[in-house]
A and B are shown apart, each in its own frame.
Chain A
Amino acid sequence: EVQLVESGGGLVQPGRSLRLSCAASGFTFDDYAMHWVRQAPGKGLEWVSGISWNSGSIGYADSVKGRFTISRDNAKNSLYLQMNSLRVEDMALYYCAKASAAADNTGWYFDLWGRGTLVTVSS
């Protein structure tokens, strides 16, 4: 079955760290770029970070640059997001999303979503 399964969310205090994971199955993981997208309560979808098939190209939203680090392990079909210095405004459902292409070329889009993992930032 083609799917993405996120894990690692939870309750964390402001300033602390959390590491999210995404396990992929049912498709050739290292053929595609992968991304993290988040959704704050009652809000729309916001792109967080993305990584190309070979980790050669990485990007971050300005809101998380310098605090979050994306990585992938193609041997394990897994995507990760290390989140440091967490803020209350980072509280959201975090989704793993598969891109339709291997890298950040033109004409790509998200074509597979995970179920999400909830990150709550509160003291």
Chain B
Amino acid sequence: QPVLTQSSSASASLGSSVKLTCTLSSGHSTYIIAWHQQQPGKAPRYLMKLEGSGSYNRGSGVPDRFSGSSSGADRYLTISNLQSEDEADYYCETQRVFGGGTKLTVL
């Protein structure tokens, strides 16, 4: 079973960009992951699938401000032109295993 490691918190200013990181444990660096967004008081929302090659596919209705990239065991979620509604918890996940989540604050 892979382990997914995320920073507990991040912050960035309105209109700027932020890059969140999810790191796969040793031996699992090629795994496909998904990113999910959970706004306060709401259910999780699937954002995208992200492969080890860096190829990603956004879910239906997800703005193109959200993009993904990869480097080795690291999987990244970049949010550009930050909006207030982007303030949320972001989880990476693969095959039923979740990272601990990153709480993003938009300043």
Which residues of the partner chain B approach A95 to less than 8 Å between Cβ atoms? 43-44
Which residues of the partner chain B approach A46 to less than 8 Å between Cβ atoms? 98
Q: How far is the CA of A112 from the CA of B59 in the complex (A)?
A: 9
Which residues of the partner chain B approach A44 to less than 8 Å between Cβ atoms? 91, 98, 100-101
Please state if B45 and A113 are interface contacts (CB–CB under 8 Å): yes
**Interface 0/1 of B83-107, CB less than 8 Å to A:** 0000000010111111011000000
**Interface 0/1 of A109-123, CB less than 8 Å to B:** 111111110000000
| Among A45, A111, A114: residue with most chain B CB under 10 A | A45
B interface residues, tally (CB under 8 Å): 21
B95: contacting residue among A106, A111, A113, CB under 8 A: A106
The distance from the CB of B62 to the nearest CB of chain A, in whole angstroms, is 11
Please state if A45 and B43 are interface contacts (CB–CB under 8 Å): no
Which residues in window 14-64 of B have CB below 8 A to A?
Answer: 31-34, 36, 43-46, 49, 59-60
Please state if B95 and A108 are interface contacts (CB–CB under 8 Å): yes
Q: How far is the CA of A19 from the CA of B8 in the complex (A)?
A: 34
Take A45-B91, A45-B93, A107-B32 as given contacts and tell me if A113 and B43 are in contact as well, using a CB distance cutoff of 8 Å. Answer: yes
Closest residue of chain B to A116 (Cβ to Cβ) is B43
Which residues of the partner chain B approach A111 to less than 8 Å between Cβ atoms? 34, 46, 49, 59
Main secondary structure on A side of the interface with B: loop
The distance from the CB of B73 to the nearest CB of chain A, in whole angstroms, is 16
Q: How far is the CA of A100 from the CA of B36 in the complex (A)?
A: 14
Please state if B59 and A109 are interface contacts (CB–CB under 8 Å): no
Closest residue of chain B to A97 (Cβ to Cβ) is B44
Take A44-B100, A46-B98, A100-B49 as given contacts and tell me if A113 and B59 are in contact as well, using a CB distance cutoff of 8 Å. Answer: no
Please state if A47 and B101 are interface contacts (CB–CB under 8 Å): no
The distance from the CB of B57 to the nearest CB of chain A, in whole angstroms, is 10
Residue A72 at the B interface, CB < 8 A?
Answer: no
- B-contacting residues of A (Cβ < 8 Å)? 2, 35, 44-47, 50, 59, 95, 100, 104, 106-116
- A-contacting residues of B (Cβ < 8 Å)? 31-34, 36, 43-46, 49, 59-60, 91, 93-98, 100-101
